[in-house]
A and B are shown apart, each in its own frame.
Chain A
Amino acid sequence: MSVFLFKRLITLVATLVGASVVVFLVLEILPGNAAQILMGPDASPEAVQALATKLGIDRPPVERYFSWVGGMLTGNLGDSYAYSTPVSELVLERLSLTVPLAVLAMAMTALIALVAGIYAASRHNKLGDVGVMAASQVGIAIPNFWFAILLILLFSVQLKWFSAGGFPGWGEGIWQGLRSLLLPALSLAVVQSAILARITRSAVLEVLREDFVRTARAKGVSERGTLWGHVLRNAMIPVITVAGLQFAELLAGTIVVESVFYLPGMGRLIFQSIQNRDLIVVQNCVMLLAAMVIIVNFVVDVLYATIDPRVKASDI
């Protein structure tokens, strides 16, 4: 286990470093003089130079890269040009919305997918199975932001159960906060659960064909006992892998869905910053999201090996 973990850790660090180099090159080197961009083409050269010195972008790129990475490790991300506040404060505030949203969406995804997938597998080739599969095919085809709009149409415009968007903040109580995240999370979950339900179904069907299932049935274990005690445990391996990858998708998906519901999360922060040409905020947010995706994938890899010892033996 330790050798496996060590190798995975090295890959994790290498991937994070690679991602940071890409983000740095694209968002800090490619645009050219950030001070010029911020001040516009009409600014005087002296003013541009003064801002460049203030932002520290007149230093050589390698030095800037290391001071950026060093800052990230110590939590000092520099100051936002547009908001004149530390980027770390802005990001932390927005993360308190985006992370709960992604986690809630993931929980809904898992719940819907497991119920639908196991049900479909237990009714293999019967009407219930065909129905779930058809519904999931449609679910995969629906863009999450359109489903979000449809939810607003139904629950806000027609039924008036929820507000059409916005976020009261956690200060108003957890229930009020969760309430405004419910529709956004559902719109993210529906598409992802359609995919995960298909994976769950085929994983369960695959395991149902195994010899040990026949043995369990032969020795008199009930159908329900076989399913819960023998089949599900083994079927969960591919399901967890895909669910991990989906968490990354969900994080990226929050960017779009936050825009639909006007939620003040990371996604909206990135957009406002793009409009304000506040590249330092964009750079740190993109890096943070990419890092979260990479770390989730790492955790999935390790989890995968913990559940399925065969992975360590064969792979790597």
Chain B
Amino acid sequence: MSAVQLPVATPPVTQGFWRRALRNHSFVLGGLLTLLLVAAAALSLAWTPHNPYDVNIPVRLQGPSGTYWLGTDPYGRDIVSLLLVGARASIVVGVIAVGIGLVVGTAFGLLASARRGWTEEIIMRVADFGFAFPAILSAIMLTAVFGPGMVNAIVAIGIYNIPTFARITRASANAIWAREFVLAARACGKGAFSITMEHVLPNILSVLIVQATIRFAIAILAEAALSYLGLGTQPPQPSWGRMLSEAQTLLFQAPMLAVYPGVAIALAVLGLNLMGDGLRDVFDPRLARKR
């Protein structure tokens, strides 16, 4: 035993992670649904039942059958293949848009927390102001100027994510800066940058992971809405939102076409949200007991 009891950081979040995670119902169910989403997208890279780009008018609007498991759309394309490839658009948009928000927002949040004073004030006021532009609104601005497209949708959703991550990072980081082990690190002569990298960031990682999962779900919803409006993923690239807007014109002839893509979106979002909730409980067991 050492003579001086030095304050130590909390144990890493990975300790006993899987043991606790697998006992959490939300995490397991959400994880399975998320896995399904990723598997669908991955599978579509290698194989789909039919070519999703093949227009085949003679077999248009067919019901489910052995050849077309969920039937065909008004262009005679296979619904299952479209759904599988559509998962790709959701994942690509989600990963990049959340990535933009996570990297930029966290960097600003950490900077605000490390510098305090005016830097913090300015960053936070600018972040507040970001909330005035919901994703749809910033996407509309970008579309009006640069035209509709997947890249603009990603950028719009990404920008929308930045203030959220900045706020959460700052709030969590400020709590870490107030802890004794940071004081100890400062007493040892460490600078703000190395304290941020060695102590603050690892300790707020769990909060960021949970937030990223939930933001991923929101990004999928936003991408679907933008594609539905014709501002996101463009044809012929399949996307769930676009499938819904095409299906809406055929509600009387083929109502089920409007059901499948919506179920796909809802399951993906539900999975990510449940996984986020589960992760939060796993990372912070005190919170789970309190509820």
Residues of B within 8 A of A290 (CB): 132-133, 137
Partner of B144, one of A141, A145, A157, A274: A274
Minimum distance in angstroms from B246 CB to a CB of chain A: 11
CB interface residues, B 197-251, toward A, < 8 Å: 217, 221, 224-225, 228-229, 241, 244, 247-248, 251
Bound-complex Cα distance A23 to B144 (A):
11
A290-305 vs B, CB cutoff 8 Å, 1 = contact: the mask equals 1001100100000000
Are B137 and A286 touching (Cβ within 8 A)? Answer: yes
Residues of B within 8 A of A273 (CB): 144
What number of residue pairs across chains A and B have CB atoms under 8 A from each other? Answer: 126
Bound-complex Cα distance A263 to B242 (A):
20
Q: Which one of A60-68, A87-95, A247-255 is at the interface?
A: A247-255
Given contacts A19-B129, A150-B262, A153-B255, contact A282 B134 (CB under 8 A): no
Residues of B within 8 A of A26 (CB): 141-142, 145
Is A31 an interface residue, CB under 8 A from the partner? yes
Closest to B143 in A: A274
Is chain B's interface secondary structure helix, strand, loop, or mixed overall? helix
CB interface residues, A 223-257, toward B, < 8 Å: 248-249, 252-253, 255-256
Residues of A within 8 A of B144 (CB): 27, 31, 273-274, 279, 282
A252-282 vs B, CB cutoff 8 Å, 1 = contact: the mask equals 1101100110000000001101100001001
Is A30 an interface residue, CB under 8 A from the partner? yes
Are A15 and B266 touching (Cβ within 8 A)? Answer: no
Partner of B262, one of A22, A142, A260: A142
Closest to A260 in B: B248
How many residues on the B side are at the interface (Cβ–Cβ under 8 A)?
A: 42
Is B284 an interface residue, CB under 8 A from the partner? no
Bound-complex Cα distance A138 to B29 (A):
13
Residues of A within 8 A of B225 (CB): 143-145, 256
Query: A residues near B, CB below 8 A?
Result: 11, 14-15, 18-19, 22-23, 26-27, 30-31, 137-138, 140-146, 149-150, 152-153, 156-157, 164, 202, 205, 248-249, 252-253, 255-256, 259-260, 270-271, 273-274, 279, 282, 286, 289-290, 293-294, 297
Query: B residues near A, CB below 8 A?
Result: 125-126, 128-129, 131-137, 140-145, 217, 221, 224-225, 228-229, 241, 244, 247-248, 251-252, 255, 258-259, 261-262, 265-267, 269-270, 273-274, 291
Could you give 6 example pairs across A and B, Cβ below 8 Å? A143-B241, A143-B269, A248-B131, A252-B137, A273-B144, A286-B141
By Cβ-Cβ distance, the 5 closest A-B pairs, closest first, are: A146-B262, A252-B134, A141-B270, A141-B269, A282-B144
